[in-house]
Amino acid sequence: MLWSFPKLRIRREGCQQSHTEVQALVAKLPDSKLPIAYRLLHALTASEGESPQAKFMRLSVDERRQLLSQQAEQMKTHYEQTAAERTEWQTGDFIDESETRGNLICRPIPPEPSQK
């Protein structure tokens, strides 16, 4: 199968599919599935195999610093907004269950009383 999109070719099992055949399949999709199909096709045609890390490394040092600074500010805002929730689940009593857990695992099981 060969799907051909602008700047993209996917080969599978030596078959060929034309744009028309792919469009016919898309036309059969229910409206609820179109966003999924669009995102898939967009990702296939837009990425062209380059990783986000490679794109980042192609930026100049100043552009990388600016981007990292923006991301740090976004994370700072996120952590400030979720501070109360995080404090709630991170605080509380710590219970040492190691002795209890060990006793439960290592304690021999008593034999059942025999019935006569």
Q: Which two tokens stand for residue 70?
A: 């923006």
pLDDT tens-place string over residues 3-33: 444 444 444 445 577 888 888 888 898 999 9
Q: Which two tokens stand for residue 89?
A: 């689940």
How high is the pLDDT of residue 104? 53
pLDDT at 80 over 90: yes
31, 21, 29: which is closest to 5 by C-alpha? Answer: 21
pLDDT tens-place string over residues 28-78: 989 999 899 888 888 777 756 677 888 888 899 999 999 999 999 999 999
Q: Which residues pair with 4 in a beta bridge?
A: 9
Task: Considering only residues 102 and 16, tell me which one the structure prediction assigns the higher pLDDT.
Answer: 16
